Amino acid sequence: MWNFSGKTVLVTGGSRGIGRACVLAFAKSGAKVAINYKRNEEEALKVLEAARETSSSQIFKADTSSREQVNSMISDVVKYFGRIDILVNNAGVLSRAPFLEITESEWDWVIDVNLKGYFLVSQAVAKQMVEQNTGGAIVNISSNNQERAGALLAHYNVSKAGVAMLTKSMANELAPYRIRVNNVAPGLTETDINRKDISNKDWREARLARIPLKVVAKPNDITGAVLFLASDDAKLMTGSTVWVDAGATIS
Instruction: Render pLDDT for 165-181 as a digit per residue (tens, 0 to 9).
Output: 999 999 999 999 999 99
Q: What is the set of active-site residues? A: 156
> pLDDT value at position 251?
87
Q: What percent of the chain has pLDDT over 70?
A: 100
DSSP string covering 67-130: HHHHHHHHHHHHHHHS---EEEE---------GGG--HHHHHHHHIIIIIHHHHHHHHHHHHHH
Class level of CATH domain 8-189+219-244: alpha beta
Sequence letter at residue 217: A
Q: How confident is the model at residue 94 (pLDDT cuts 50, 70, 90)?
A: very high
Instruction: Render pLDDT for 68-85 as a digit per residue (tens, 0 to 9).
Output: 999 999 999 999 999 999
> What is the overall mean pLDDT for the chain?
97
Cβ-proximal residues to 87 (8 Å cutoff; 6+ apart), any chain: 9, 10, 12, 121, 122, 125, 136, 137, 138, 139
Contact between 234 and 182 under an 8 Å Cβ cutoff? The reply is yes
Distance between CA atoms of residues 45 and 37, nearest Å: 10
Instruction: Render pLDDT for 9-48 as a digit per residue (tens, 0 to 9).
Output: 999 999 999 999 999 999 999 999 999 999 999 999 999 9
**Distant-in-sequence contacts of 43-47, Cβ < 8 A, 24+ apart:** 43/15, 43/16, 44/14, 44/15, 46/15, 47/14, 47/15, 47/16, 47/20, 47/23
Q: Report domain extents, the chain.
A: 8-189+219-244
The DSSP H or E segment spanning 244 is strand 241-244
Classify residue 53 as exposed, middle or buried by CB count within 10 Å of its CB (0-12, 13-18, 19+): exposed
Instruction: Render pLDDT for 186-219 as a digit per residue (tens, 0 to 9).
Output: 999 999 889 999 999 999 999 999 999 999 999 9
Distances (CA, A) of 70 to 46, 64, 183: 22, 6, 21
DSSP string covering 17-60: HHHHHHHHHHHHTT-EEEEEESS-HHHHHHHHHHHTTTS-EEEE
